[in-house]
C-alpha cells in the first residue's frame, strides 16, 4: 500500500506533466497558425502587386515570408527542441518516479477517487 502523501505527490507530478502536454499542444497550434499565416502572405503579396503597391509587396516578401520566428529557428525546430529536451526529460522523471514508487502504475490518485466516488 502506498501512503497518501506519496500518492498525492505522484498525482501532482502527473498533473504537472499533463500541463506540459497542454503547453506542447499550444506549440503545435502556434506552429500550424504561423505556417498558415506565412502561406496567406503569398496571396497578400499577389494582391498588393496587382494593386500596384510593389513596395509593400516586396517588403512582405523580403521581411516576412519564410522568416525565422526566433533567430535560426522555424516553429518546427522549436517543437523538436522542446520534445527532445524539456519534454523528454519531464516524461523520463515522471516515469522513473512511478516505476520506483508505484510499480509504474499511473493515476493512483484518480483511481482512489473513482473507487470512493463509485462506492
Q: In the structure grid, which three cell numbers stand for residue 78, read together?
A: 522549436
- Per-residue pLDDT reduced to its tens digit, 58-116: 999 999 999 999 999 999 999 999 999 999 999 999 999 999 999 999 999 889 889 99
* pTM for this prediction: 0.84
Q: Which residue in the block uniquely carries the three cell numbers 496587382?
A: 50
Give the pLDDT confidence score for residue 1 in this predicted structure.
84
Give the pLDDT confidence score for residue 99 in this predicted structure.
97
Q: Residues for the chain: how many in total?
A: 119
In this structure, the number of other CB atoms found within 10 A of the CB of residue 108 comes to 18
Domain ranges of the chain: 4-118
Amino acid at each position: 500500500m502506498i501512503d497518501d502523501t506519496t500518492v498525492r505527490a505522484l498525482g501532482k507530478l502527473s498533473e504537472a506533466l499533463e500541463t506540459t502536454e497542454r503547453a506542447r499542444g499550444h506549440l503545435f497550434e502556434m506552429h500550424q497558425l504561423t505556417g498558415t499565416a506565412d502561406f496567406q502572405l503569398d496571396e497578400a503579396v499577389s494582391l498588393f502587386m496587382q494593386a500596384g503597391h510593389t513596395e509593400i509587396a516586396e517588403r512582405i516578401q523580403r521581411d516576412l515570408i519564410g522568416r525565422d520566428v526566433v533567430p535560426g529557428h522555424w516553429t518546427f525546430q522549436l517543437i523538436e527542441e522542446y520534445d527532445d529536451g524539456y519534454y523528454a526529460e519531464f516524461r523520463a522523471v515522471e516515469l522513473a518516479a512511478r516505476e520506483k514508487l508505484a510499480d509504474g502504475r499511473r493515476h493512483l490518485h484518480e483511481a482512489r477517487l473513482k473507487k470512493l466516488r463509485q462506492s
